[in-house]
Structure 1
Amino acid sequence: MDQSLQTPEQQAWLHKFLGYDFKIEYKPGKENQAADALSRMFALSWSEPHSLFLEELRNKLAANDHLKLLMIDCQNATADKHYTVREGLLYWKDRLVIPVEEALIQRILPEYHSSPIGGHAGITRTMARLKAQFYWPKMQEQVQEYVQNCVICQQAKVSNTLPSGLLQPLPIPQQVWKDIAMDFITGLPIVNGFSVIMVVVDRLTKYAHFLTLKAYYSSKTVAEAFMSNIVKLHGMPRSIVSDRDKVFTSAFWQHLFKLQGTTLAMSSAYHPQTDGQSEILNKCLEMYLRCFTYENPKGWVKALPWSEFWYNTAFHTSLGMTPFKALYGRDPPTLTRTQITSQDPMELRELLANRDSLLTKLKTNLFRAQQAMKAQADRKRQEVIMQVGDHVLVKLQPYRQQSAVLRKNKKLSMKYFGPFKIIAKIGSVAYKLDLPPSARIHSVFHVSQLKLFKGNVDEPYLPLPLTENGVQDDATWEDIEDIKSNYPSFNLEDKVDVKGEGNVMGDRTRAQHEPSYDVSCDDAGMNNQFPKNVDLGRGQRVRRPTWKLRD
């Protein structure tokens, strides 16, 4: 009774206990066997679950004149033995008969397809699970329509059909070194600061040049190498086919060639096959370097000139000759002389006279090779024609912004995103989509990256994933406060705080906050506008206003 009383309830109980003579003693729990029973209310009752669905089904059966007569007929001896009535429910071959009621069927289908038990299975498996318990007319058609229109299935499942879109060869160039293709080979060992190979190939003669670049190349350094090694030898090209590398999509690169009157033909989003010439040449060059530098990988720089000579003097099936002969009109010189060559000027004049006929033969051979490749490729493809106004799903790799890498799992991300509306057809096999304003990716896609959407387009679509290492137009933004609160131990690199807060937001959100200072970052590096004494070291936080860094 030495315990202090804190609440009115304790005071009330003390007032009652004062009229009794008692002593409070502690009793161990294993000896106090009656305490558990005394603390429970003795109120037992039997409970049994009742299926509201079955009750509703009984009412629907009673209201259906045809099924009601069938249930009455089951009581006759001459009735169909496949039909039985149990507890007011009609069965056919021990399968519950469902009236053709849209509401009832739409309650059953999600439970046997979209639930964890259904597992978003295909038509055959979902049908087998339903047929084991239910029956209704046109069951197969309704199940097939429901499964095909399931949005989750369309977004999450891998397509097992042939790739969409027949092969569309690029037009054959009419002059040498007027239409070229470019690409980069990265990930090589660093030798004297070089770790990248810039591949430039003439699309007509297949003649190629291999240039070395520093590990951290920019559009400016690439343009300098291009002018110093390609333009000085062959002049400015008329068109350049490339992928969507950040160099080729930069404003500097596009403005430079726009002034020169050169057309930049970049591949559609997530479809590098557009520049198939560079891709196959990269594979060929990597094979050569692998064969001769596998024991000393850092010797690739010394082997690069030999690889260029080997490639340009090797026979090409599509050309019917070597790239060297296609460009210069004569056979390449051999390093080992086995025959005495003639110096007759007549032969030289004849060689020059046959130059035009050689180019004509070259174009004919290229056309035949293209048709053969198209016929072979189209065997494993299917032609899919979409119309403007159709809604499609987009196939993307679920890349994420690096600062939010812990938010999602790439393995379990959706395969398709959308649906999005087609607003224009570009060429024969590419389409432009009406992407939301928040989607900062290229809006033109090859048909192989698209899939026609089935179902109600008014339902909320799955937003596009965040991207990383893209150009400014492809950038996405994350609120740094959300990142810090969700991942307090995560080290954010290259982010700048605002008085300890550090918001990295989109333009609309940023406009609602204090004004920011834009710092231009040219391709060669940071310019002189960036404030002095600002430490951007790893893990450091700068107590400055918001800076927006632009590539």
Structure 2
Amino acid sequence: MELLQRLAIQQDSTGPFSLLAGVIRHKGRVWLGTNKEVQQLVLQAFHAEPVGGHSGAPATYQHIKRIFFWPQLKKDVWQFVQSCSTCLQAKPDRAKYPGLLQPLPVPSESWEMVSMDFIEGLPTSGTANAILVVVDKYSKFAHFIPLCHPFTAATVAKTWLTDRELMQSTIKQHLERAQLRMKRQADKGRSERSFPVGAQILSKIGPVAYKLELPPGAAVHPVFHVSQLKLSLGSQQVAPVLPSDFAPLQVPVRVLQRRWSAGDRSVEQGLIQWSHAPIELATWEPLDALRQQFPRAPAWGHAGSKDRGNVSTPLPAGPGTTTTPSGPPHGSPSSGRPKRIRRPNQKYADSL
């Protein structure tokens, strides 16, 4: 108010502020000051609405600073984009594959660590109808033990050979060298990622796994590899309930939005709301393939017009709903090419 009163009485021609049509401007841009409510509306409009299209932080900042200005504008834009739940869910993770490779320890002697597997369902050969495969991790020596149901651990142990002490140090050195080379090569496409224990993270299981606090009705194991986890800076809940494993067959019930995929061969896609699932779990699916898979689904009776323009079925009261024009993108093969202008051959035109 003090700034507005001062500018209304006498505008400071040397300062960055000016008063134009009753609006305070800072170097020609609309000044929002410390009005957090209006700032959030501007951020929402220039990032989540169709004019922004969920652009990255640099693009959103460039769009806003052309028209508006307030203190710490760049910092606020960066925090808003990083906490956008839609961007976290839809945009790919550009970091290297999370979680460094954790190889098993190299054993110090033969038969200290083995891997076992059963091959069953074989035709009877003599008295055997199954094979136990035992591979020593140290020497890579394999045992193929014929078994006959029923069999016991004592029956298998009788066929194992004694330890081979000769060449143990040489074999161990080669294994460690090969393992280090494999780890170094694999870690070129991986990155280290960690999360603090607390809130929904109950404990850390090993170097690259975490135990999460899941709802009581969850039917999945609570331990996840770090490659399956992302750090969420926002507070918006993805879906109020978990999908049920005992729900009947899900079919498309509604086409919420339409769009065309990018590339030389554009494909029409639709944001599909599935039966027995909330609208938050809608997914983008190719419409032609979906029609072939579910030819009598109720979604095809609610889809919009196929003409060019806005064909999105309106969403029920929900912020941030956008529509995408139908039809292939401009410049795609299906958009058609201009006809080539044919000119007469100059050699024959001069002779006429």
Which category of TM-score, normalised to the shorter sequence, fits these structures? Answer: 0.5 to 0.7
| Higher helix fraction (1 or 2) | 1
1:183 CA drift (Å) = 10
Matched residue of 2:215: which SS?
Answer: coil
Structure 2 residue 108 is matched with structure 1 residue 108: no
Structure 2 residue 80 is matched with structure 1 residue 146: yes
- Decide which of 184, 192, 200 is 1:383's aligned counterpart: 192
When residues 479 and 376 of structure 1 are mapped into structure 2, their CA distance, relative to the original with a 3 A threshold, is closer
Structure 2 residue 247 is matched with structure 1 residue 478: yes
1:356 CA drift (Å) = 0.9
1:484 CA drift (Å) = 9.1
Structure 2 residue 214 is matched with structure 1 residue 435: yes
Q: Which residue of 1 aligns with 2:292?
A: none
Alpha carbons 2:133, 2:144 under 8 Å: kept: yes
Tell me the TM-score normalised to structure 1 length.
Answer: 0.38
- Decide which of 165, 170, 173 is 1:356's aligned counterpart: 165
Q: Which residue of 2 aligns with 1:366?
A: 175
Spell out, residue by residue over 1:200-245, the C-alpha distance to the aligned partner (whole angstroms, 9 max, x if none): 744333345799xxxxxxxxxxx989969x99666799xxxxxxxx
Distance 1:461 1:484 in 2: 21
Alpha carbons 2:115, 2:134 under 8 Å: kept: yes
Spell out, residue by residue over 1:431-462, the C-alpha distance to the aligned partner (whole angstroms, 9 max, x if none): 11111123211111111221222133xx4233
Q: Which residue of 1 aligns with 2:231?
A: 452
Superposed, which structure 2 residues align to 1:128-527 within 5 Å? 128-173=62-107, 174-176=109-111, 178-180=113-115, 201-207=135-141, 355-389=164-198, 421-456=200-235, 459-462=236-239, 476-479=245-248
Q: Supply the AA of the counterpart residue of 1:462.
A: A
Distance 2:49 2:198 in 1: 32
Q: Which residue of 2 aligns with 1:118?
A: 52
When residues 92 and 224 of structure 1 are mapped into structure 2, their CA distance, relative to the original with a 3 A threshold, is farther
Matched residue of 1:96: which SS?
Answer: strand
Matched residue of 2:234: which SS?
Answer: coil
Q: Supply the AA of the counterpart residue of 1:79.
A: T
When residues 71 and 165 of structure 1 are mapped into structure 2, their CA distance, relative to the original with a 3 A threshold, is farther
Q: Supply the AA of the counterpart residue of 1:361.
A: T
Distance 2:150 2:137 in 1: 16
Structure 1 portions without partners, runs of 5+: 1-62, 185-191, 193-197, 212-222, 238-326, 330-354, 391-420, 467-474, 488-504, 506-551
Spell out, residue by residue over 1:96-151, the C-alpha distance to the aligned partner (whole angstroms, 9 max, x if none): 11121111111211111112222111101111211121111110000001111112
Spell out, residue by residue over 1:454-487, the C-alpha distance to the aligned partner (whole angstroms, 9 max, x if none): 133xx42336875xxxxxxxx811157xx69969
Distance 2:226 2:106 in 1: 23
Q: Which residue of 1 aligns with 2:6?
A: 69
Matched residue of 2:165: which SS?
Answer: helix
Alpha carbons 1:111, 1:118 under 8 Å: kept: yes
When residues 210 and 145 of structure 1 are mapped into structure 2, their CA distance, relative to the original with a 3 A threshold, is farther
When residues 485 and 126 of structure 1 are mapped into structure 2, their CA distance, relative to the original with a 3 A threshold, is closer
1:430 CA drift (Å) = 0.9
Spell out, residue by residue over 1:360-411, the C-alpha distance to the aligned partner (whole angstroms, 9 max, x if none): 3222221222223223333433222322115xxxxxxxxxxxxxxxxxxxxx
Distance 1:225 1:140 in 2: 71
Matched residue of 1:204: which SS?
Answer: coil
Q: Which residue of 1 aligns with 2:28?
A: 94
When residues 133 and 232 of structure 1 are mapped into structure 2, their CA distance, relative to the original with a 3 A threshold, is farther
Distance 1:141 1:147 in 2: 10
Tell me the TM-score normalised to structure 2 length.
Answer: 0.57
Distance 1:385 1:485 in 2: 38
Distance 1:359 1:99 in 2: 74
Q: Which residue of 2 aligns with 1:348?
A: none
When residues 447 and 71 of structure 1 are mapped into structure 2, their CA distance, relative to the original with a 3 A threshold, is farther
Identity of aligned residues (%): 35
When residues 486 and 126 of structure 1 are mapped into structure 2, their CA distance, relative to the original with a 3 A threshold, is closer
When residues 203 and 158 of structure 1 are mapped into structure 2, their CA distance, relative to the original with a 3 A threshold, is same
Alpha carbons 1:439, 1:464 under 8 Å: kept: no
Distance 1:182 1:378 in 2: 29
When residues 152 and 201 of structure 1 are mapped into structure 2, their CA distance, relative to the original with a 3 A threshold, is farther
Distance 2:150 2:177 in 1: 31
Q: Supply the AA of the counterpart residue of 1:444.
A: V
Alpha carbons 2:110, 2:139 under 8 Å: kept: no
Q: Supply the AA of the counterpart residue of 1:364.
A: Q
| Higher strand fraction (1 or 2) | 2
Q: Supply the AA of the counterpart residue of 2:247.
A: E
Distance 1:79 1:438 in 2: 66
Aligned pair count?
A: 244
When residues 109 and 437 of structure 1 are mapped into structure 2, their CA distance, relative to the original with a 3 A threshold, is same
When residues 161 and 105 of structure 1 are mapped into structure 2, their CA distance, relative to the original with a 3 A threshold, is same
Determine which structure has more spread, i.e. the larger CA radius of gyration: 1
Q: Supply the AA of the counterpart residue of 1:461.
A: V
Distance 1:88 1:67 in 2: 9
